[in-house]
Amino acid sequence: MNGTRSNNPSRTFWQDLADCWQQLPNKALFFTLLAAWLALFQFLGNSILGYIHTPSLFSWMYEAYNGSTGGSDDAHGNLIPFLVVGLMWWKRKDLLAQPLNLWWPGFLVVGVGIVLHVVGYVLQQPRLSVLALFTGIYGFTGLAWGRRWLQKSVFPFFLFVFSVPLGSIATAITFPLRLLVTWLTELVAHGILGIGVIREGTVLMDPSGAYQYEVAAACSGIRSLMAIFLLATIFGFVVFRSSWQRLFLMALAFPFAILGNLLRMLCIIFAAEIGGRPAGDYVHENTLISLIPYVPAIIGLLWVGRWMEKRWPPEPVEQS
């Protein structure tokens, strides 16, 4: 029987899932409260009925991630719940090893979620309600399974922060990034490579007028920044146990994102110098080349993480 199970991955997964389910106490309490909590945000989750006429916060979130108002900059929000569930499954042995019991102070965390939602609903700020939604779910897990569960699941629940759509708020981030990427591109192209590029605001142009490219909001690096920041967060929490090491890797997302977008803009300018505007446009529109910003980030994070592991070996996991 054991040999058959080891040769049947699907059965092993379902058996493991069943075992985990059996070990969880207070399931009826947790899922009853969860259902009521989700119903609240379905029927009284969104007080803004102008852009999308629905009281459902989930419909508002879907529109923000995929609709015309949100654009693709927030599309990563679709993946966050699946990512969190996957990481919870990855941590299942550590979570189930904790003392699992009712912990009534978990209601305090739920209370924070209620306050956030009330404020967001009254002030018509659904982003606060998104935070409230996941804060409440986090509190219910602590209520049903204890303080230690709550502590052990800070990550991956922290990743739900990435579920908050930025929308127009991202302008405060994208515009400085646009200016910085434009300035760095001119500095490297003109000062180091000897390419006569002129910068006007967020526009890069050839002195003769052969080509002109604007570092638009979509090209500013906000998409790659969010993706790289998410990657750095996961990498830091999975590999390291020290808070400063995790924060350091997360902070590296900013320079790596800028470096990647600088490299992409230089490729566009370099192509336009060699083959004219059509060549530059091809590089600008090419899907494969648009992945360039992620290359130095992934390589850099892996290299820095490997160096940190050798310099400061991870602390041994506490036995429960």
Domain boundary among 112, 139, 165: 165
Residue 210 domain boundaries: 171-311
| 145/137 Cα distance (integer angstroms) | 12
Q: pLDDT digit string (tens) for 105-160?
A: 999 999 999 999 999 999 999 999 999 999 999 999 999 999 999 999 998 899 99
What mean pLDDT is reported for the chain? 87
Predicted local confidence at residue 214, as pLDDT: 80
Print burial letters for 105-125: b (CB count within 10 Å at least 16), e (below 16). ebeebbebbbebbeebbeeee
For residue 21, pLDDT over 80 is answered with: yes
Residue finishing a domain among 134, 165, 196: 165
Contact 97, 320 (CB under 8 A): yes
| Backbone phi and psi for residue 203, each to the nearest 5 degrees, phi listed first | -110, 135
Predicted TM-score (pTM) of this structure: 0.83
pLDDT digits (tens, 9 = 90+) for 38-75: 999 999 999 988 777 899 999 999 999 987 654 557 88
- Residue at 118: amino acid letter: V
Q: Is residue 195 part of a domain?
A: yes
Nearest to 128 by CA among 112, 117, 136, 138: 117
The confidence band for 92, taking pLDDT boundaries of 50, 70 and 90, is very high
Cβ atoms of residues 143 and 177 within 8 Å: no
Q: 16 and 150, same structural domain?
A: yes
Does residue 115 lie in a domain region?
A: yes
Residue 103 domain-assigned (yes or no)? yes
Please report which confidence band the pLDDT of residue 319 belongs to, taking 50, 70 and 90 as the band edges.
very low
Query: 3 is written with which tokens?
Result: 């040999």
Q: How far apart are CA 315 and CA 54, in angstroms?
A: 49
Q: pLDDT tens digits for 22-33?
A: 999 999 999 999
- Confidence at residue 293, expressed as pLDDT on a 0 to 100 scale: 79
Same domain (yes/no): 27, 155: yes
Whether 154 and 235 map to the same domain: the answer is no
Domain total for the chain?
2
Distance CA 135, CA 161 (A): 10
Give the residue-averaged pLDDT of 299-317.
Answer: 83
Confidence of residue 314 (pLDDT cuts 50, 70, 90): low
Same domain, 190 and 258: yes
What does the pLDDT look like over 159-209, one tens digit per residue?
Answer: 999 999 987 787 777 788 888 989 999 999 988 888 889 999 888 998 888
**Residues 175, 157: one domain?**
no
Over range 241-255, report the average pLDDT. 90
Helix (H, G, I), strand (E, B) or coil at 198: strand
3-state secondary structure 18-51: HHHHHHCCCHHHHHHHHHHHHHHHHHCCCCCCCC
Residues 22 and 159 in one domain: yes
Q: What is the largest CA-CA distance in the chain?
A: 77
279 and 204 in a common domain: yes
User: Do residues 181 and 102 share a domain?
Assistant: no
Domain boundary among 150, 165, 180: 165
Q: What percent of the chain has pLDDT over 70?
A: 91
Contact 181, 262 (CB under 8 A): yes
Token pair listed for 152: 């052990």
Neighbours of 186 (CB within 10 A): 18
Q: State whether 150 and 210 are in the same domain.
A: no
**Tokens representing residue 284 in the block:** 């600008």
| Residue 290 pLDDT greater than 70, yes or no | yes
User: What is the arithmetic mean of pLDDT over 313-320?
Assistant: 55
* Rounded Cα distance, 293 and 253, in Å: 11
Q: Is the pLDDT of residue 5 over 70?
A: no
Does residue 165 contact residue 86 with C-beta atoms inside 8 Å? Answer: no
Establish if 318 belongs to a structural domain: no
Confidence of residue 315 (pLDDT cuts 50, 70, 90): low
Statement: residue 312 has pLDDT above 90:
no
Same domain, 25 and 106: yes
Q: Same domain, yes or no, for 236 and 283?
A: yes
In terms of domains, do 161 and 213 share one?
Answer: no
What's the rounded Cα separation, in Å, for the pair 149 and 99?
8
